[in-house]
Amino acid sequence: MLAQSTQKDTHIQQAELLTQVGRKQLNQGQAAEALDSWQQATKIYHQIKDAEGVSGSLINQNFALQKLGLHSQACEKLVEALKLNNWNCNPTLLELTEYEKSQLIAAIHQLKLTPISLLGLQSMGQVLRLVGKLNESELVLEETLLFGKQTSSEKVSDILLSLGNTKQSIYQRARDEYKWVEEPVFRETIIDSILQKAEESLKTYQLLVDRTSSPQGIKLQAQLNRLNLLLDFNEWLTDKPQLKDAHTKVSQQIQPLANLILQNPSAFSQLSPEQSIQAQLKFANILSRIQNESLQSAAIQYATSALKTAKHINNKLLESKSLGALGKLNTEESQTYFKKALSLAQSINDVDLLYEWQQQLGNLYQKQGKTEAAIQAYGATIDSITQIRGNLLSSNLDAQFFFYEKVEPVYRNYMRLLAESPSPNLELIRQTYEQLQVAELEDYLKCGKLDLVALNKLQNLDDTPAIIHIIDLKDRIEVIVQSPGDSPHHHSVDSKLVRTHVNTLLEILQDEKLVYTKQHIITSHYQVLYKELIAPLKRYLPDSGTLIFILDKSFQSLPMNLLHDGKDYLVKRYSFSETLGSRVRTPKSLRQDQMKAFIAALSIPSPSLTDSNAPPGAEALPQAKQEAEDVRKLTNSSLILLDKEFTSSNFGQRISEENFPIVHISTHGQFSSKLIRTGFLAYDRQINIREFDSLLRNKTQASPDIIELLVLSACQTAKGNKRSALGIAGVAVQAGARSTVATLWLVEASSTVELMEEFYKGLRKGLIKAEALRQAQLALMKNPKYAHPYYWAPFLIVGSWL
């Protein structure tokens, strides 16, 4: 017994030593080494059956995984530590139901209250924020705060800090959404959310600061976060006269809070060296944004102090960050600082920092007129982004606000510089544009890298198309045309010549009164677009066949089949298709033995019409029943889910039971810049894009055959939303469909029935999909009742044209 006790004591000492070593390693920026130490400690605690030791070391592993950016894995460690076995760490679009909230609260209340469980819950709240589960994070932290107060825990200040950060993230998410939404009703709702969460976050931070028992270091972190939020909130309020009072109230708090922090420099020494450096760099960045000259020198002093400490503790990562911060602050020596920061980042192989300093050098060289150096720097930046893109877009919430602020400008600046060259490298511009569009969709879907094939790598295809890129480079529009067997040709046009026409067309085409708009008004704008964008390259296009358009987002909500050369619509000569950045699933034509369809249609009033994510004003589509019956007659061995049979659960079950090369969905749907609003209505509720993806993944596991053709015949893009057309590409990619037929606006149902009948007749005859759609559109145009573009123009094919 004595020997066993001595052996156990030895194991405990080993585990405790490994725990201490791990803490030291983490403080020195050696997260991977710390993780290894804590994994060894966990094994020892398992061997001696020390449950509390296991939980504590698993929580420690979570800290290391967070530092490594592996937030989902960190979450899983906490689930294991807290024994929340039914908890799912994967990001989700769905809001928690009241039942799910009660279940989560019950699971938390079942925990035995100890310092370790309290630390684990606080960490869980933090990690849930980082994986984008903001509502769950808020709920967990609010419950944890109640526990902390009950036990008079010293952790209350830490919990308040985490809760303030989550509320700030919810504010940031709403603010980010506001950029893309122009529908007045949605805008008002988002504004309310922004105001509410900013106020809640500011109050939470202040509550922490006002607590006499709060440690000085944590008070400082709350003050810095509060000041950062005040600055951000103030910037957002600046151009909103209707919120003048709120703007005045916020702006008056900024300078006094900055002064308060400046008056207490000793607070920085109350943090660990690593935290102190991070805090000083954050404060330096904040001070640089306040319009006060005296604060600029203070910002440099704090960044210099951070650099000194980073060198002292030999933390290369923080040393690189400090040098980069000085590069941003000290304009005269920026280049020197950025180069040193870059060199350090290379020495520790930190791709995230490599990207940041390469971009800063690119921006600097561009301002200095050093075009070749800027091109090289931006090219290197894009290489780094390509390496880290999967991590950027999968779990880190901050990265979800990152794409349009930091990533996209790099691609666009790079393309702009390449295009301005006397003999531009068109292939490199196309490749960069292709990478940007794929990265943009990955950002939209919050997924890893997509499995798509570049068009220029496809060989031996029937009916090889001409490809037209339209790239928006802010002050100019770049058009690149490549026809079969020819080299690419390009044309640049001043964006002022087309921008007004594009914006006017978007207003016209998204107006509910579109059907009453005179055709010549629509045609006149499209004639200008043709004249400026297509006509200069007309000689490089075939006389007929298929045109593949790869469109920048400012053009994606415009149907290209409306282009008019002054004599007639181009759809009279060409079939059209759109792809994602020159990338598609390998194009294949639809064989006659693949004319087997899964058909889902909703023709009667249903509970889903009042779903919070249903398209505004959605009503029953009585003709959907006839459309479904027509499709069934023109396909083989098809299955129909109609009306009350078309529930979300039935849809999921039946679509996974057997292989259907064609999936035809005739129900209200919406493509939006917001993922949760992108989807279609079943009888009981909306099925959003992520759920659709999940259902089809289940189907793929049962049968490897992909969907050859997905038809969404009654969908629409969200009005006034600059990114909404991304939803079409998003649905197509998430479905894994080779080809997707969708609509840019909701069309009068009887004309859609006729168009779909003609489309499937064309497929029956063996026409390729793009040509079958063109023939169906021409059939509608010949009918005086449906000749107006409102009826035939919104239908488009995304993906394979064959």
What's the 3-state SS for 415-460? HHHHHCCCCCCHHHHHHHHHHHHHHHHHHHHCCCCCCCEEHHHCCC
pLDDT at 469: 95
Which of 412-416, 433-437, 563-567 has the lowest average pLDDT?
Answer: 433-437
pLDDT at 579: 82
Instruction: For residue 293, count other CB atoms closer than 10 A to its CB.
Output: 6
HSE-CB of 35 using CA atoms within 13 angstroms:
16
In the predicted model, is pLDDT for residue 488 greater than 80? yes
Report the greatest alpha carbon distance in the chain: 100
The answer to whether the CB of 559 falls within 8 A of the CB of 502 is: no
Rounded CA gap, 277 and 341, in Å? Answer: 15
pLDDT at 584: 59
Cβ burial 513-542 (10 Å sphere, 16+ → b, else e): ebeeeeeeebbebbbbbbbbbbebbeebbe
Rounded CA gap, 27 and 62, in Å? Answer: 14
| Residues in contact with 672: Cβ distance below 8 Å, sequence separation at least 6, in sequence order | 678, 717, 718, 721, 724, 727
Higher pLDDT, 571 or 474: 571
In the predicted model, is pLDDT for residue 704 greater than 60? no
**In 3D, which of 38, 108, 94, 96 has the Cα closest to residue 67?**
38
**How far are the Cα atoms of 196, 244, 246, 247, 659 from residue 241, in angstroms, in the given order?**
18, 5, 10, 9, 56
Phi, psi dihedrals of residue 683, rounded to the nearest 5°: -65, -40
DSSP state of 796: E
Average pLDDT, integer, range 729-749: 80
Can you give the residue ranges of every domain in the chain? 453-580, 592-799
Quickly list DSSP for 227-274: HHHHHHHHHHHTT-GGGHHHHHHHHHHHHHHHHHHHT-GGGGGGS-HH
Radius of gyration of the chain (CA): 29
Average pLDDT, integer, range 384-401: 58
pLDDT at 697: 62
**In 3D, which of 642, 632, 629, 650 has the Cα closest to residue 603?**
642
Q: Which range scores top for mean pLDDT: 381-385, 450-454, 629-633?
A: 629-633
For residue range 90-107, list pLDDT tens digits in order.
666 556 667 778 888 888
pLDDT bin (cut points 50, 70, 90) of residue 455 is: low
pLDDT at 615: 85
Residue whose pair of structure tokens reads 């020495």 in the numeric block: 347
Instruction: For residue 507, count other CB atoms closer than 10 A to its CB.
Output: 12
Rounded CA gap, 409 and 196, in Å? Answer: 31
pLDDT at 2: 47
The answer to whether the CB of 222 falls within 8 A of the CB of 164 is: yes
pLDDT at 185: 66
Structure tokens at 185: 């009703």
Average pLDDT, integer, range 519-530: 98
Rounded CA gap, 80 and 105, in Å? Answer: 17
- The neighbouring-strand residues paired with 636 are 596
Average pLDDT, integer, range 159-172: 95
Give the helix, strand, coil percentages of the chain, each rounded to 5: 65, 10, 25
pLDDT bin (cut points 50, 70, 90) of residue 179 is: confident
For residue range 329-348, list pLDDT tens digits in order.
988 899 999 999 999 999 99
In the predicted model, is pLDDT for residue 397 greater than 50? no
CATH, domain 592-799, list 3.40.50.720, 3.40.50.1460, 3.90.650.10, 3.40.50.80: 3.40.50.1460
% of the chain at pLDDT higher than 90: 60
For residue range 113-126, list pLDDT tens digits in order.
888 899 999 999 99
Structure tokens at 675: 């993922």
In the predicted model, is pLDDT for residue 714 greater than 60? yes
The answer to whether the CB of 196 falls within 8 A of the CB of 216 is: no
For residue range 575-607, list pLDDT tens digits in order.
999 886 545 567 777 788 889 999 999 999 999
Higher pLDDT, 461 or 350: 350
Which of 74-88, 217-231, 761-775 has the lowest average pLDDT?
Answer: 74-88
Rounded CA gap, 276 and 299, in Å? Answer: 15
pLDDT bin (cut points 50, 70, 90) of residue 399 is: very low
The answer to whether the CB of 580 falls within 8 A of the CB of 454 is: no
- The neighbouring-strand residues paired with 482 are 467
Instruction: For residue 766, count other CB atoms closer than 10 A to its CB.
Output: 12
Average pLDDT, integer, range 472-480: 94
Instruction: For residue 197, count other CB atoms closer than 10 A to its CB.
Output: 23
The answer to whether the CB of 76 falls within 8 A of the CB of 89 is: yes
Rounded CA gap, 220 and 286, in Å? Answer: 14
**For 578, left (φ over 0), alpha (ψ -120 to 50), or beta?**
beta
Report the chain's mean pLDDT, rounded to a whole number: 88
Q: Report the DSSP pairing between strands 669-671 and 662-666.
A: unpaired
The answer to whether the CB of 498 falls within 8 A of the CB of 536 is: no
What three-state secondary structure class fits 99? helix
Summary count for the chain: helices (H), strands (E)? 29, 17
For residue range 51-66, list pLDDT tens digits in order.
899 999 999 999 999 8
453-580 sits in which CATH class?
alpha beta
The sign one gets for the Cα dihedral 561, 747, 677, 90 is negative
In the predicted model, is pLDDT for residue 456 greater than 60? no
pLDDT at 677: 77
- Long-range contact list for 483-489, CB < 8 A, 24+ apart? 483/540, 483/541, 483/542, 484/542, 486/540, 488/426, 488/427, 488/430, 489/426, 489/537, 489/540
pLDDT at 457: 55
Which residue type occupies 510? Answer: Q
Q: Which range scores top for mean pLDDT: 29-33, 244-248, 615-619, 673-677?
A: 244-248
C-alpha distance across the termini of the chain, in Å:
78
For residue range 611-628, list pLDDT tens digits in order.
888 888 889 999 999 999
